Structure 1
Amino acid sequence: MENHSGKSYGGGRQRAPCVEGCPAGIDIPRYIGYAALGKFGEAAAVVRERIPFPAVCGYVCYRPCEPECRRALWEAPVAINAIKRAAVEKDTGVWKERWGEAVAAATGKRVAVVGSGPAGLTAAYYLGKRCGHEVTVFEAQPKPGGQLRIGIPPNRLPREALDEEIAMITAHRVDVKCNQRVDDLDELKRAGYDAVFLAVGTCIARDLEIAGEDLPGVWKAVQFLKEANLGVEQNRRPTVGKRVAVIGAGNVAVDCARTALRLGAQDVRILYRRGRKEMPAYDFEMRAAEAEGVKVEFLTSPLRIERDGSALKLWLQRMQLGQADASGRAAVQPVPGSDYAIAADTIMAAIGQTPGVSDAWGLARGAEGTIAVADGSLKTSREGVFAGGDVVLGPLNVIKAIAQGRSAAQEIDRYLGGSGDIAEILAPEAGEEMDYHPDIHPQGKGCVSMSELPPESRARGFELAERGYSDGEATEEARRCVRCDLWSAKAAPEIWWRSRGLKPYWLGGSDRMGREKDRAKAREHTPYAPAYERAPYIPHEYSAKE
């Protein structure tokens, strides 16, 4: 890894496991180094060098970096994303000092971006600012943001933060046209666009394929979230009644359930045909919902929906788990004679989404209706047309969509004759953040707990549930980082290798602090769970146990 001067720092840094886990390749150790010194503006600048959505990620990233953190060998990973959020919330604007330096000269080329979600807007930002192309973003909804706006509730992502970042993204050669659905790619070519990037996401809800799903009071989850989220902004909220049943157990289902509580529902149930360990929702999201009062019923599957006076009757049947199916999850089988019914005012179907790809686009398609792209590329079957984000990968997450947007900008720029260089230098030259903090926390220091609204009160509105770190809390948590990016340049800190019972090679031992070797040593000396499959939910799982 290189510093801003392009030279290796102190003999060369190594790529830390957390950076390997980040799809966008954010220099996590460096921004944590700044945070440990209380330099939050500099920390935010490091984050902005790789993504134009630092605040969005600070609030909603699912944190793939954290399960890779070496600190887990001691007690728990560093709360990397909470530190990022703190840096952005306490940003002093250091990045603005150099931001204007990287505006490329105009090329005269024009790019159309279809979809204003995280992939589309990320690509637009780099294509306009760093590559010099004129970019038009076409958005079918009345406001930009894609699923960031219509899919994520404001109690998880404050709209003022989203709007501020969209304003920054569109500051240079990016024009967003809302209420503009693109049905004909040839029309874009005729309008003079030299390249097209399709980033329309997965916005078509799957049907339950049961009788009664078209009855009034039965919602498709994505449509419900759109109406609720835009309604909160416009002060016109949908009515859900007192009893709500949500079918499905993914992250969309959890968002529906938590939103229903905030709209006045008193009895909200998530119904899932498999067991807890098979549910696709992130554990920390489901636990947050349960803490707020959402009930979860496992091993139950819908049969039909009937009208019952002014309410609905949802017929279900019990299920049992069998052998693993093609998805790797346990197959389900109905339990004979186990049918039963529950009453509901509103029923929501949240069993997945498919891409919003028009047949008129004439593109080759992949599995589940995604757009097919060439291996190792984002090129579609049509010349000059690229695609990325969920419309290619299927429904995933924000940080992967942002990473796809970066790749799209690089690839499209090269297609248009550019270098594909979208690098930005926004942080100061390397300094004291590139050394070990003198007070790294020793083994046994658990994660700094993040304060949160009490569950009984947070479900009554759309205020942020997780309150964020104070300056002192963020700095204290940052000092838990053992800066393994510096190990090859400066040797592992003594606080690390002594506690692990290792004998470093620079003192005559045989240990070179490799990840697998360190894991093996850790298993010999201390209890250790070798894999964190999902990042825990900070207020509980990451709290210090003292």
Structure 2
Amino acid sequence: GGKMFYSIPEHQLPKEILNKEIKTITDLGVTIHTSCQVQSVQTLFKQGYDSVLLSTGVLGVDEGLLLPCDETAKSDLIKGSDFLKGIKSTTKETLGDKVIVIGGGSEAYNSAFAAKNLGVSEVNLVCSRHTGSKEASPEEVDRAIDAGVTVQPSLDFVKLVKLNDKIEGVELFRIRSYGYDKENKLHYEIINDTRRLISADTIITTVAQNDKPGSDYLSVVQPGVFAAGDGISGARSVIEAMAAGRSVAGLIDKYLGGEGNLDETLAPPEKTIKPLGEPKGQNRSQVELNLVKQAGGDKVEIEKTLSPNAAKKEAQRCLRCDIVHQVHDYSLDTSSCTYCGRCVDACYWDAITNGYGYEAAAKKRKAEAAALEEKNSVYNYAIRILPIAIGLMILAAAIAKLST
């Protein structure tokens, strides 16, 4: 509860509620030791513990929580040392258009730079946290990035993808928790909507088999050690932290001989509700606002929670915009979009995305509006000058008639 207790403001997470939650945990028999420094999981095993969970949070990212890397297809990978030794006889044609380098040390960045220098159009470096070998210098990192190497986030889990016994690329995703069972088999839970596939013609690895931290390292490289939370997934929400704790608790329970199933029925199952044919429109329940004084002295508006009656009314309100409004045709004024992303968050059906294509459409719309305005200005100018031209023609005709 350190991050929740000291970093989240009182009006967002009251300390009274947090203390009650912590007391519920201690009442179950959990003993909390504070002001303790643990530098080795082996020390804990020697004290008689059967399992260890590392949940150091964001501040523990650089303290040794190295993500594992799938090693099921090592035979199809090119070793970084072999690649650099044979660089003189290597050509772009032998590597292909897309190259992935696995690793985060000096050898990885040098291999990525060498591949880019050969003319490879796309080079991605994954597993960018330094693991084994020699650590990359700032000059090596800058040189590779300046050459056009794309460095993927260090918290991405890397899994090799094969098709018909041939390496096709790597799949990157964030994991909520992971650990090894008694057979040293890796288990993990993937966070939804974080999967990304990077295709490759050639994959170079600089992670050797012996690139594992020593016994004095906080690492998840042996049975009985698990990891979860922001330390492996990056900074996320309190809800995600709770989900990570529940996920890794199942893994630990299974490791210790249980079934690993910690599902609970906290509410009766909902009955299937048929879609409303013609739902009645209801206004959104108003949320009460309070003025809260910040540390600097400024006051900000903070939303309070809904009352029980308002919450029930809000839960009954239909949010199915596709049913309430029978949309047959629509148009978007992209020129008025400020790219705040609130419509993306609000859309229940994930039907709206905010990307570069949308921004390009907005620029196109603005250009079209400017062209139309210019065209209209020419037309308006012609309309204004036309009566003058007609008047001059009549005057010229009258003068010619008088002269004759």
Give the alignment's TM-score, normalised by structure 2. Answer: 0.40
The structure whose Rg is larger is 2
Identify the structure with bigger relative contact order (alpha carbons < 8 Å, sequence gap 6+): 1
